[in-house]
C-alpha cells in the first residue's frame, strides 16, 4: 500500500534526526477513537541490536513491543518480522492537555488548536512506588537542568544494597532526572533519564520517565498550567462510526509481590464502559476472549468481518497486508516537526490524594 510505504520512509528518515520530530496522529471525529496503522519491519540477518534499538527508532516502549511481538528476545531479536504497534484506541478522556495511561505506558498530549495528538512511550514507578492514577492535576512549573534530592527512604534503600547516594545530584547529563523536567502536583515530575533503557518498564520511584529527545520536545511545547490526567486503563474499547467495535488489551500492572513473581497473567477486570461496548449482540465473544488472552496491546475488531492482523514468523520475507476498511480508515501517525500553540492554563481539579513518592 502506498500510504504504508510512505509511512515507513518517514519513520526511517526520522530515525536520524529524532530530536526534531515527534509522533503525531491526526485526531479522528469526536465519535471515533481508533487512530494509526500498524506496520511491520524486518530485523536483518546478522543484527546485533537489542529490542530497545527498534523501540527507540519507532517511538515505542519496550512493553508495547513485547506485547505486540510475543516471545521476542528483548536482548537480541531474531532476524525476521517485527510488528510496530502504532494503531491504538485513544483513552476515553477529554482530548485536552496530557493524559498518562500507566497500564499501556504511554503519554498522550493534545496540543491546543492543532487537531492532533502526540503519543510518547514512558517509564513508570516500580511496584510499591507506583505512579499515581485516578488523578487530575496540572504542570506546576518546568525546569531546564533539574537537580535531584533523594529522599531518606531512597538513601536507606540504596544503603541496604551497599550503595551511597549523594545528598543532591547536580544538574547535568549524569542526573537521573535527565536534562528537563515538568513538575506536576507537589511530589511528581515528568522528566528525562540518564540511562539508555527503561522506557516501557516499571523503573522509577513514581515519576514518569521519557527518552531524552521526547522530554526535550515536551519541555519546549507544553506550557505551565497544562492539564494532566493520570489513568490506569489496561483495556480500551471503542464503537466506530460505521458500527465496528474494537478492543485493545494490555497486561495490567501487578498490584502485589505475588502477582509480580507469578508466571500467571494478572487477572483482567472489565470496566462498565468497556463491558457496554463488548456486550452488544453483534460482538463475537470468542474474539473478545482471544483478545483478552493474547493481550497484544493492539486494537482487535470483535464484530463483523475480521481484519487481517500482522503475523510475525521468523524468516518471512513478505510483509502482511492489512485489509482496508471501506468506511473507517484510521489515519497513520506522521513523524513531523510540531509547532504546537501553547495551551491556556487550566484549573486543576485533583480527584485523588497525592501519594507520597520519591
Q: What is the pLDDT of residue 356?
A: 33
Look over the chain and give the mean of its residue pLDDT values, rounded to a whole number.
80
Q: pLDDT grade, residue 147 (50/70/90)?
A: confident
Q: List, in order of start, the domains of the chain with CATH numbers.
A: 92-231 (2.40.440.10), 235-257+266-301 (no CATH)
Instruction: Kindly calculate the radius of gyration of the chain based on its CA atoms and give it in whole angstroms.
Output: 20
| pLDDT tens-digit map of 150-178 | 777 777 877 788 877 777 777 778 777 78
How many other C-beta atoms are found inside a 10 Å radius of the C-beta of residue 198? 18
Grid cell in block for residue 353 = 490524594
Q: What is the pLDDT of residue 217?
A: 94
How many Å apart are CA 117 and CA 340, to the nearest integer? 10
| pLDDT tens-digit map of 246-257 | 999 999 877 777
User: pLDDT at residue 320 above 70?
Assistant: no
Grid cell in block for residue 332 = 497513520
Write 43-49 long-range contacts (CB < 8 A, 24+). Answer: 43/77, 43/78, 43/79, 43/80, 43/81, 43/82, 44/79, 45/79, 46/79, 47/77, 47/79, 48/76, 49/77
User: pLDDT at residue 228 above 90?
Assistant: yes
User: pLDDT at residue 275 above 90?
Assistant: yes
User: pLDDT at residue 295 above 60?
Assistant: yes
| pLDDT tens-digit map of 39-66 | 999 999 999 999 999 999 999 999 999 9
How many Å apart are CA 196 and CA 211, to the nearest integer? 8
| pLDDT tens-digit map of 215-224 | 999 999 999 9
Q: How far apart are the first and last CA of the chain?
A: 48
CA distances to 49, 53, 312, 332 from 109, rounded to whole Å, are: 30, 24, 31, 17
Which DSSP string corresponds to 271-302? -HHHHHHHTSTTB-HHHHHHHHHH--SS-EE-
Q: pLDDT grade, residue 140 (50/70/90)?
A: very high
Is 191 an active-site residue?
yes
Of 86, 191, 205, 250, which one is the catalytic site residue? 191
Better-scored residue on pLDDT, 195 or 32: 32
Of 86, 205, 207, 250, which one is the catalytic site residue? 207
Cβ proximity of 43 and 315 under 8 Å: no
Q: What are phi and psi of 51, to 5 degrees?
A: -60, -30
Q: pLDDT grade, residue 298 (50/70/90)?
A: very high
Q: What is the pLDDT of residue 9?
A: 30
With H, G, I as helix, E, B as strand and everything else as coil, classify residue 143. Answer: strand
User: pLDDT at residue 341 above 80?
Assistant: no
Q: What is the pLDDT of residue 12?
A: 34
Amino acid at each position: 500500500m502506498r500510504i504504508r510505504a510512505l509511512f515507513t520512509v518517514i519513520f526511517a528518515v526520522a530515525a536520524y534526526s529524532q530530536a526534531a520530530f515527534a509522533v503525531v496522529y491526526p485526531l479522528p471525529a469526536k465519535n471515533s477513537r481508533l487512530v494509526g496503522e500498524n506496520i511491520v519491519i524486518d530485523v536483518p540477518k546478522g543484527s546485533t541490536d537489542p529490542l530497545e534499538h527498534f523501540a527507540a527508532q519507532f517511538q515505542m516502549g519496550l512493553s508495547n513491543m513485547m506485547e505486540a511481538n510475543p516471545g521476542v528476545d528483548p536482548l537480541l531479536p531474531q532476524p525476521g518480522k517485527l510488528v510496530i504497534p502504532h494503531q491504538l484506541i485513544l483513552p476515553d478522556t477529554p482530548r485536552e492537555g496530557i493524559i498518562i495511561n500507566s497500564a499501556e505506558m504511554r503519554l498522550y498530549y493534545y496540543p491546543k488548536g492543532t487537531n492532533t495528538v502526540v503519543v510518547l512511550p514512558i517509564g513508570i514507578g516500580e511496584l510499591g512506588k507506583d505512579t499515581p492514577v485516578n488523578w487530575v492535576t496540572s504542570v506546576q512549573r518546568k525546569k531546564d537542568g533539574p537537580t535531584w534530592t533523594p529522599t531518606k527512604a531512597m538513601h536507606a534503600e540504596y544503603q541496604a544494597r551497599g550503595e551511597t547516594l549523594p545528598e543532591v545530584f547536580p544538574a547535568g547529563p549524569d542526573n537521573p532526572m535527565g536534562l528537563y523536567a515538568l513538575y506536576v502536583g507537589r511530589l511528581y515530575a515528568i522528566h528525562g533519564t540518564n540511562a539508555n533503557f527503561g522506557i516501557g518498564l516499571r523503573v522509577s520511584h513514581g515519576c514518569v520517565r521519557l527518552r531524552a529527545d521526547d522530554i526535550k520536545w515536551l519541555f519546549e511545547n507544553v506550557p505551565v498550567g497544562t492539564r494532566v490526567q493520570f489513568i490506569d486503563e489496561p483495556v480500551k474499547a471503542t464503537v466506530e462510526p460505521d458500527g465496528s467495535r474494537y478492543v485493545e488489551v494490555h497486561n495490567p500492572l501487578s498490584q502485589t509481590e505475588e502477582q509480580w513473581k507469578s508466571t500467571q497473567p494478572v487477572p483482567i477486570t472489565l470496566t462498565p464502559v468497556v463491558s457496554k461496548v463488548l456486550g452488544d449482540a453483534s460482538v463475537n465473544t470468542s474474539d473478545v476472549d482471544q483478545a483478552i488472552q493474547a493481550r497484544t496491546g493492539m486494537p482487535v475488531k470483535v464484530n463483523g468481518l475480521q481484519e487481517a492482523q500482522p503475523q510475525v514468523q521468523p524468516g518471512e520475507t513478505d510483509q502482511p497486508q492489512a485489509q482496508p476498511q471501506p468506511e473507517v480508515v484510521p489515519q497513520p501517525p506522521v513523524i513531523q516537526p510540531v509547532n504546537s500553540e501553547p495551551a491556556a492554563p487550566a484549573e486543576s481539579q485533583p480527584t485523588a490524594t497525592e501519594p507520597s513518592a520519591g
